[in-house]
Amino acid sequence: MSEVYTKSPKHCGKQRLNIHKLCKKLFYTFSTFFLSLLLFIFLVWLILHPSKPEFSLREANLYQLNLSDPQLLNSSIQLTLLSKNPNKKVGIYYDHLQVYASYKGQQITVYTSLPPFYQGHEESNLLTASLVGTGLPVASSFRYEVGRDQTAGKLVLSLKVTGRLRWKVWTWVSGRYRFNVNCISVMDFGPTIPSGPLSSKQGSQCSTTI
């Protein structure tokens, strides 16, 4: 005759209690590790506290700014920017860069994309872009505003950069942050139209927001 072994309710209850304790212990272990990792990253970020990148306008040349129709604009601008990473221990990945120009709040060129790049510690890079606009709609007051600036002898353009960046600290790379750059270009624009392009070479500092 074979013997039949059965587990008592007390034994089953004890086994379930042990499994529960093990799961609880594993949960606390992983939670502690995860929180410690987050705390470490936060402390590194707090200690290094990266400064935002610096941009300055090196040169801007306006080759075309005329109306093909009372409210349709054609434009052509060539510009050079200097981008600098002021951080000693933080690198910057520029994942997405778009440049365009505006005049008195009106966009006068389409977006021009620049290739992504990595900027090392305290490194500087020259960025060049050709901005164009063909048949862009503008306000009916555009011609009047340009004529008034020509009488005043100065043409003021806003050259803007939008994009996304990531910070790099050792092997750790942050999430993406949106940033905006605004550069002001002031060009001599007298009553007589010069044969060459209108130029701005004053090397003005640009404002950067993240």
List the CATH number of the domain containing 168: 2.60.40
Q: What percent of the chain has pLDDT over 90?
A: 57
Position 53 scores a pLDDT of: 96
**93 and 71 in one domain?**
yes
Mean pLDDT value across residues 148-167: 94
Range of the domain at 72: 54-209
Position 14 scores a pLDDT of: 54
**192 and 88 in one domain?**
yes
Report pTM. Answer: 0.77
Mean pLDDT value across residues 103-107: 94
**87 and 22 in one domain?**
no
Query: HSE-up of 179 (CA within 13 Å, CB side)?
Result: 25
- Is it the case that residue 59 has pLDDT exceeding 90? yes
Using DSSP's 3-state secondary structure scheme, residue 99 falls into strand
**100 and 34 in one domain?**
no
Domain count, the chain: 2
**142 and 76 in one domain?**
yes
Using DSSP's 3-state secondary structure scheme, residue 11 falls into helix
Mean pLDDT value across residues 86-101: 94
**153 and 109 in one domain?**
yes
**37 and 91 in one domain?**
no
Position 38 scores a pLDDT of: 78
The answer to the question of residue 2 being in a domain is: no
Residue corresponding to tokens 């309710």: 9
The answer to the question of residue 149 being in a domain is: yes
Position 180 scores a pLDDT of: 97
Per-residue confidence band for 124, with pLDDT thresholds at 50, 70 and 90: very high
